[in-house]
Amino acid sequence: MDSKTVTDLFQNGQVLKICAPMVRYSKLAFRTLVRKYDCNLCFTPMIVAADFIRSVKARDSEFTTDQADRPLIVQFAAKDSQTLADAACIVSPFSDGVDLNCGCPQRWAMAEGYGACLINKPELVRDMVRLVSNQVDNPSFSVSIKVRIHQDVRSTVDLCQKAEAAGVSWITVHGRTAEERHQPVNYDAIKIIKDSVSIPVVANGDIKNIKDVELIHQMTEADGVMAARGLLANPAMFAGYGDTPLQCIWDWVDIALEHGTPFTCFHHHLMYMMERITSPQEKTVFNALTSTSAVVDYLNETYS
């Protein structure tokens, strides 16, 4: 990355296009791919901070990066300030910021005190943000949070204002509650939160194509948009492609082979990317392939 900080990116007047933290999927190889197609900022998958600190093996498997993998935000699940700050200090030389996950609705995360249950602990979130800011010795390192909304958006506004007062750099808002899965995204709530703070706000939820990026920006006035499943289905979405272009599929093959991506991950990404451009019969054949060489042979036979 050049000398620009993440805060600088938010100030360039463009809507920032961000790849969400996705379990198993937003690893280095996929981040490398979406960066080729106008993605401005990438997140790692969520990493449990306590495990990350405790185990070298966990660090090696959960956090891989390279010089081109910037700007990069490392997302942590944490439930106490010092653990988050320790993890942030470890990754700070290799990334541009850390993000505290306050949005994961999975039962295991909530049961452990991680993720979306933190939206009901605004004082704890405030303390965690403050300690990271104080202990990471880099003034341009960003500290952000990713939240879901409350049923009463005033509670979310209170949380975000407390985080802002503690020095949070920016906030991503997923416009659903922790209980909601496929219900419509509440973009009005994101707009209310955007209007209640003076730091950048990123809108997250159901961004499936480049038109959604502009529409949701207009509806929320958010400073950026974050996509997850939309990018899985079409990693070239931010560059304006309606469906995954053939070049993007071959780019993924090259990048995945170069990074030694495990077959299951390599194959799953292609299944997502080819979902809308293959017939049911083609899907049946492709999804049954069991080796990288078989996949490459299939693509060569079908698309070259």
DSSP the chain: --S--HHHHHTSSSPEEEEPP-TTTSSHHHHHHHHTTT--EEEPPPEEHHHHHH-HHHHHHH----TT--SEEEEEE-SSHHHHHHHHHHHGGG-SEEEEEE----HHHHHTT-GGGGGG-HHHHHHHHHHHHHHSS-TT-EEEEEEEPPSSHHHHHHHHHHHHHTT--EEEEESS-TT-SSSPP-HHHHHHHHHH-SS-EEEES---SHHHHHHHHHHH--SEEEESHHHHH-TTGGGT-SS--HHHHHHHHHHHHHHT--HHHHHHHHHHHHTTTS-HHHHHHHHT--SHHHHHHHHHHHH-
Active site residues: 104
